[in-house]
Amino acid sequence: MKKATKINLQLKIIAINTTTNPLDWPLSSLPEGGRDGSSQDRLRPNRHPSPTPPFTRDTTGVHLSNFNLLKAIGRGLTGYVYKATAIGIPGIPDGQLVALKAIPKRKLDTPKLLEHLRREQECCIDLSTSGSPYIPKLLCSFHNETHVFLCFEHVNGGELADQMKAKPGGHFSEPETVQIAAAVIAALETIHATGRIHRDIKPRNILVKVDPDTKTGTPSLIDYGFSKDHDKGSETKTLCFTPMYAAPEALCDGSSSKASDVWSLGVLIFKMLTSCLPILVQPKDQANVMLVLKKIYTYLDEGLFCEKAILTAIDSMALLSADAKDLLSKILVRDPADRLSIAEIKAHPFFKVIDWDTINDEGSTATFDVEEVFVRSKSLGEVGNSRIENLSAKKPVIASPKHTEETEEEDPFKGFTWTSDSLTC
* pLDDT greater than 80 at residue 358: yes
Residue range 288-301, pLDDT digits in tens: 665 666 666 655 43
Share of the chain above pLDDT 90, in %: 40
The residue with greater pLDDT, 166 or 177, is 177
Q: Quick check: 362 pLDDT over 50?
A: yes
Q: List, for residues 1-31, the tens digit of each pLDDT value.
A: 444 444 333 333 333 343 333 333 333 332 3
Contact 26, 200 (CB under 8 A): yes
Residue with more model confidence, 56 or 257: 257
Average pLDDT over residues 242-250: 82
User: Which of 84-93, 234-243, 259-268 has the weakest average pLDDT?
Assistant: 234-243
Fill in the amino acid letter for 247. Answer: A
Residue 97 has pLDDT above 90, yes or no: yes
pTM value?
0.76
- Whether the pLDDT of residue 51 is over 80: the answer is no
Of the ranges 65-79, 133-147, 164-178, 200-214, which one carries the lowest mean pLDDT score?
65-79
Domains with residue ranges and CATH for the chain? 39-155+378-419 (3.30.200.20), 160-369 (1.10.510.10)
Would you state the pLDDT for residue 375?
Answer: 35
| Percent with pLDDT over 70 in the chain | 66
State the pLDDT confidence band at 394, using cuts at 50, 70 and 90. Answer: very low
Whole-number pLDDT of residue 127: 92
Categorize the per-residue pLDDT at 247 as very low, low, confident or very high, splitting at 50, 70 and 90.
confident
Q: If DSSP states are collapsed to H, E and C, what string results for the chain?
A: CCCCCCCCCCCCCCCEECCCHHHHCCCCCCCCCCCCCHHHCCCCCCCCCCCCCCCCCCCCCCCHHHEEEEEEEEECCCCEEEEEEECCCCCCCCCCEEEEEEEEHHHCCCHHHHHHHHHHHHHHHHHHCCCCCCCCCEEEEEECCCEEEEEEECCCCCEHHHHHHCCHHHCCCHHHHHHHHHHHHHHHHHHHHCCEECCCCCHHHEEEEEECCCCEEEEEECCCCCCEECCCCCCEECCCCCHHHCCHHHHHHCEECHHHHHHHHHHHHHHHHHCEECCCCCHHHHHHHHHHHHHHHHCCCCCCCHHHHHHHHHHHCCCCCHHHHHHHHHHCCCCHHHCCCHHHHHCCHHHCCCCCCCCCCCCCCCCEECCCCCCCCCCCCECCHHHHHHCCCCCCCCCCCCCCCCCHHHCCCCCCCEECCCCCC
Residue 224, pLDDT above cutoff 50: yes
